[in-house]
Amino acid sequence: MEYRELPAAEYDDLSSRILYEDNHILIINKRVGEIVQGDKTGDETVADKYKALIAKRDGKPGKVFLGIPHRLDRPVSGITILAKTSKALERLTGMFREGQVHKIYWALCCQAPAVEESELDNYLVRNERINKSFIEKGPVENAKEAKLKYKLIGKTERYFLVEVLLLTGRHHQIRCQLAGIGCKIKGDLKYGAPRSNPDGGICLHSRKVVFIHPVTKKEITVTAPVPASWKGVEKFG
């Protein structure tokens, strides 16, 4: 199978965003606007880009396998894990489903939380027509329980840096739950932010993952640098 020929600059950029790689998994730092899995736009996916890179880098004449065990929303940046074998894909998918991949996010918010550190436990209902989730007061029909822990870890000149440990994986969970306590994420118009970001994304970043390797059984810890537009934030982590 032939893959798209990557220009040198794009090849170098993709290579520079590899955070971890072995024979079984590939972990990359996704940019705002990139899609992990194909959608109705038909835009090239992160998986397809890295298939082309691997084919060129390793001189693979046949089809390159890259499975997708989890998703990261298009306007969100940060750690994305891809499986290089079907065995790794099956095991990673199960690990994400069972909460065995510990995921830490950073959110740059327009307001500080009233309580600097706490746990949020809500019921969320997804409205697929408008692609948005809403907090309900209790376990109503189609509601799913959503849990996360957060803490305020820093402040820039205008914004507040909140670290989130995700305990469940619901649709737009962090965006919805933080907005529910008045911490609207910078650039997130859908959940009440006052203005958009120039790149069209939101300031939510998959910062760190910790998990047991699905094949080698060694503990893997990976941290992803935040986007360059997040001025003065790296010092907090």
> Which burial class, exposed, middle or buried, applies to 162 when counting CB atoms under 10 A from its CB (0-12, 13-18, 19+)?
buried
* Identified catalytic residue from 12, 73, 121, 199: 73
CA distances to 3, 11, 66, 92, 131 from 50, in Å: 10, 9, 8, 18, 28
CB-CB neighbours of 37 under 10 Å: 12
**DSSP per-residue codes, 115-159:** SSEEEEEEEEEEETTTTEEEEESS--TT-EEEEEEEEEEEE-SS-
Question: What angle (nearest 5°) sits at the alpha carbon of residue 70, between those of residues 87 and 89?
Answer: 5
Told to judge if 73 belongs to the known catalytic residues of this protein, a careful annotator would answer yes
Residue 220: strand pairing partners: 211
Secondary structure of residue 105 in the 3-state scheme: strand
Give helix 46-58 / helix 8-16 axis angle, nearest 10°: 100
Burial (CB < 10 A; 0-12, 13-18, 19+), residue 169, is: middle
Residue with token string 């890295």: 50
Does an H or E element contain 104, and which? Answer: strand 102-109
Residues in the chain: 237
Q: Kindly list the catalytic residues.
A: 73
